[in-house]
Amino acid sequence: MYEIELLKTALKNKKTVSGLEKVDEQTYAISQAYNLKESILQLKQGNQYAVAVQKMAEAFKNEDLKQLDKLIKDPKFMNKRQEKLVLTDRNRNWAEKMPEIMKKQSSFFAVGSGHLWGDNGLINLLKSKGYTVKPVSNL
C-alpha cells in the first residue's frame, strides 16, 4: 500500500534502500506456503476475500494491529503452515538481521503489516532483544 510512497521518499532524499531478504527468498517462501490447490481455494472465495482485505485495510489505517493480526491469520485465508512459512520464519530471519543493520547506521524498516503483531511478530521479537519499538503515524 505505502511501499511506493516510502520508496519515492527515500530516493528523493538520497537514502540507501535495501531489503531484508532477496526477491527469490520471498517468492520461495510464498511458493512453499501456497500450493496450487490452496491458491485455487482462495480464489474461489472471491468476494469473501475482497471483504476481508477491505477490513484489513481499515484495521491498518486505524492502527489496530490486534484486529489486523486476527484478520490476516483467519484460517480461511492462512493456515498454521502458511503462517509459519510466510510470517514466522521470515520475521525471525529479519529480527536477526535488523540489529546488525541498526548498529551501522540510523535505519527505517518498512514491512507488511502482517509481520508486526503477535508472539512471532517483529514488534515482539525486537522488544525481546531489548529494543524500543514505536509506531510511525500519519504517513
pLDDT in tens, 48-70: 888 988 999 899 888 888 898 89
Split at pLDDT 50, 70, 90, the class of 13 is very high
Name the residue among 119, 45, 117 with its Cα closest to residue 75: 45
The parent domain of residue 49 ranges over: 21-128
Asked if residue 61 belongs to a domain, the reply is yes
Q: Is residue 3 part of a domain?
A: no
Task: Determine, yes or no, domain membership for 72.
Answer: yes
Cell (9 digits) for 138: 500519519
Give me 8's grid cell: 519515492
Report if residue 2 sits inside a domain: no
Q: Please report whether residue 55 resides in a domain.
A: yes
Question: How confident is the model over 106-121, as pLDDT tens digits?
Answer: 888 889 888 998 899 9
Which three-class secondary structure state does DSSP give residue 39? helix
What integer is the mean pLDDT of 71-88? 91
In a domain, 16, yes or no: no
pLDDT at residue 137 in the model: 67
What does the alpha-carbon distance between residue 129 and residue 46 come to, in Å, rounded to a whole number?
40
Report if residue 57 sits inside a domain: yes
Please indicate, yes or no, if residue 137 is contained in any of the structural domains.
no
Residue 2 near residue 139 (C-beta atoms within 8 A): yes
State how many domains the chain has.
Answer: 1
